[in-house]
Structure 1
Amino acid sequence: MTADTTTDVFEEHRPLLTGVAYRMLGRVADAEDVVQDAWLRWSRADREQVREPRAYLVRITTRLAIDRLRQVQARGEAYVGPWLPEPCVTDFGDTVPDTADRALLADSVSLAVLVVLESLSPLERAVFVLREAFGYPYAEIATLLDRGEAAVRQLAGRARRHVEERRPRYEVDPAQRRDLTERFLAAAAEGDLAGLMSLLAPDARLVADSGGKAKAPVRILHSADKVGRFIAGVAGKGAPDLSFRGIEVNGGRAVLILSGDKPDSVFQVDVADGRITTVYIIRNPDKLRSLAAH
């Protein structure tokens, strides 16, 4: 296998590897590091002995991501305030033409699901991602992870039950989410508390991730009244150089808020029955770096 062929094979599978690593880690920079490490191992491997490059590369990437997760858990680092995944720009384009497949991929990378995955063990998370997001057969997952198929099925069942118990139980209509996002932002910009309240479900939540590095609530806000008053209050103190840009992150419509030309925050909502159920705000500057080009 020539150097050019080696690179071409890896680049062909890079989107898949990045997708696996990001869903495993919830962090764009960590996922990119893992994929780079996978490239180094691929470039040094005896590729004449590799009969299935795709399986080989997914195995390397998955194991590297598991190791990274275990290191993070071992360090036991305290995070200031609620934790949300690093926002990832998602644009499936024409690569996923089927509506059902698009919905599956979007759901597997949503903020709500990735928050739940954070509470799984590294092995449970690997099995769930490979099975639920990418449709790998149990036997193939067992081979990738050097586990028995029965053990993999048990891990998958445990992970699936955990996720189903905690994930939102509703289908998200992309058009409705876009409409509610735009109306919510318009009401916020005008300081229209009544307008905000009309869009929020009674038990709406606001989850803000700043990591202690930007101003944001350090606890989740519960109830439409608290969420609406917080948003209206923040909007009333908005900086004059703020601008807004529509963007798709984690499989759904979002808004990138810029201060000058620098990312200030990402805003996204979950909706159900025509109301906003959760408002996500990501303000940790470390998690916004990858959005600078968008």
Structure 2
Amino acid sequence: MTRIAVNKSINLAKSARKTREEYYGPWIPEPLSEELEAQLERKEQVNYAMMVVFERLEPKERAVFLLKDVFGYSHQEISDLLDISVLNSRQVLTRAKRIIAKSDVQTVREVGADRSMIALFVKSIEDGNIAPFIEKLTSEATMQIDGGKRRQAPLRVLHTPLRIGAFLRGVAEHDFFGDSRELRLIDEQICILIKENGILVRIIFLSLNVEGDKVQSVFVVTNPDKLKKNLRNCVTFLMADLSY
């Protein structure tokens, strides 16, 4: 069953690449629904920041990393599952870890740090002064907003605190932050649920740097299709990100 799931996920990841390349605007993974998340073993989950980093890995790199570091398979077991040598499995894992390290984001659950930074973001919104939050962005911070064709959003990734701050100040006047906000734990991270008239309109995740004292990335999911869909297969989701 594991071999079937892994091979199917790798094939789906390969075919999904073209779909993501043709996607309208920035593409980021769909948040895992709270209902499905509650059914999973916490030790087998990764946070939202990690799912975004997975997009930089080749399908086989993603599979080896998940099997070894998340599910605890040995290199011998991985070589049998993927029909590669033990040496190749080690090399693929090294490559994957090198790419993950370059992302400079926390890829483990740090709820305390997340909660503190999210609280600062919400307070900045409530006070109508986004400056305190902008000061917490790293010099190379990025912001990605996934609206697909369903919601208006920048078609490119925003880079640097200057541009992110300008965008946030601009959209604050247009109900970007809704009329109510809730903090929830989704995909092993505290996030902000933005609602208008009780309807969920976007989810905001913050990814911290490795030190945990600055925000490296801001991810905003506002595509209605991604907000309402429930994923049926966790393993396939983790390895192939079937949300587009």
TM-score by length of structure 2 reads 0.78
SS in 2 for 1:144: helix
Partner of 2:99: 162
* Residues 41-68 of structure 1, C-alpha deviations (whole Å, 9 max, x = no match): xxxxxxxxxxxxxxxx222211111121
Cα deviation, residue 168, structure 1: 2.4
**Which is higher, the Rg of structure 1 or of structure 2?**
1
2:110 and 2:91 mapped to 1: Cα distance?
33
Deviates more, 1:78-87 or 1:119-128: 119-128
* Partner residue of 1:79 out of 11, 23, 26: 23
* Residues 107-134 of structure 1, C-alpha deviations (whole Å, 9 max, x = no match): xx33333233223322222111111211
The unaligned stretches of length 5 or more in structure 2 are 231-244
The unaligned stretches of length 5 or more in structure 1 are 1-56, 97-101
Judged with a 3 Å threshold, the aligned counterparts in structure 2 of structure 1 residues 241 and 232 are, in CA distance, closer, same or farther, namely closer
2:24 and 2:18 mapped to 1: Cα distance?
18
Structure 2 residue 90 is the aligned partner of structure 1 residue 149: no
1:45-124 correspondence runs (5 A): 57-73=1-17, 77-89=21-33, 96=42, 109-124=46-61
Q: Which amino acid aligns with 1:205?
A: T
Structure 2 residue 206 is the aligned partner of structure 1 residue 279: no
- In the alignment of these two chains, the number of paired residues is 226
SS in 2 for 1:59: helix
Judged with a 3 Å threshold, the aligned counterparts in structure 2 of structure 1 residues 277 and 289 are, in CA distance, closer, same or farther, namely same
1:176 and 1:75 mapped to 2: Cα distance?
34
Check the 8 A contact 2:48/2:189 in 1, yes or no: no
* Residues 187-221 of structure 1, C-alpha deviations (whole Å, 9 max, x = no match): 12332133333443444322211223212222222
Judged with a 3 Å threshold, the aligned counterparts in structure 2 of structure 1 residues 155 and 278 are, in CA distance, closer, same or farther, namely closer
Identity across aligned pairs (percent)?
28
Q: Which amino acid aligns with 2:172?
A: A
Q: Which amino acid aligns with 1:220?
A: V
Cα deviation, residue 89, structure 1: 4.5
Partner of 2:72: 135
Judged with a 3 Å threshold, the aligned counterparts in structure 2 of structure 1 residues 202 and 247 are, in CA distance, closer, same or farther, namely same
TM-score by length of structure 1 reads 0.66
SS in 1 for 2:229: helix
1:123 and 1:94 mapped to 2: Cα distance?
24
Judged with a 3 Å threshold, the aligned counterparts in structure 2 of structure 1 residues 286 and 93 are, in CA distance, closer, same or farther, namely closer
Structure 2 residue 155 is the aligned partner of structure 1 residue 218: yes
Judged with a 3 Å threshold, the aligned counterparts in structure 2 of structure 1 residues 215 and 65 are, in CA distance, closer, same or farther, namely same
* Residues 129-181 of structure 1, C-alpha deviations (whole Å, 9 max, x = no match): 11121111011112222333233223222222232233427877421221221
Check the 8 A contact 2:142/2:157 in 1, yes or no: yes
Partner of 2:175: 238
2:118 and 2:203 mapped to 1: Cα distance?
12
SS in 2 for 1:224: helix
1:241 and 1:120 mapped to 2: Cα distance?
34
Judged with a 3 Å threshold, the aligned counterparts in structure 2 of structure 1 residues 166 and 225 are, in CA distance, closer, same or farther, namely closer
- Identify the structure with the greater helix proportion: 1
Q: Structure with the greater relative contact order (CA < 8 A, sep ≥ 6): 1 or 2?
A: 2
Deviates more, 1:237-246 or 1:265-274: 237-246
Check the 8 A contact 1:127/1:152 in 2, yes or no: yes
Structure 2 residue 171 is the aligned partner of structure 1 residue 227: no
2:41 and 2:226 mapped to 1: Cα distance?
26
1:124 and 1:194 mapped to 2: Cα distance?
39
Judged with a 3 Å threshold, the aligned counterparts in structure 2 of structure 1 residues 250 and 215 are, in CA distance, closer, same or farther, namely same
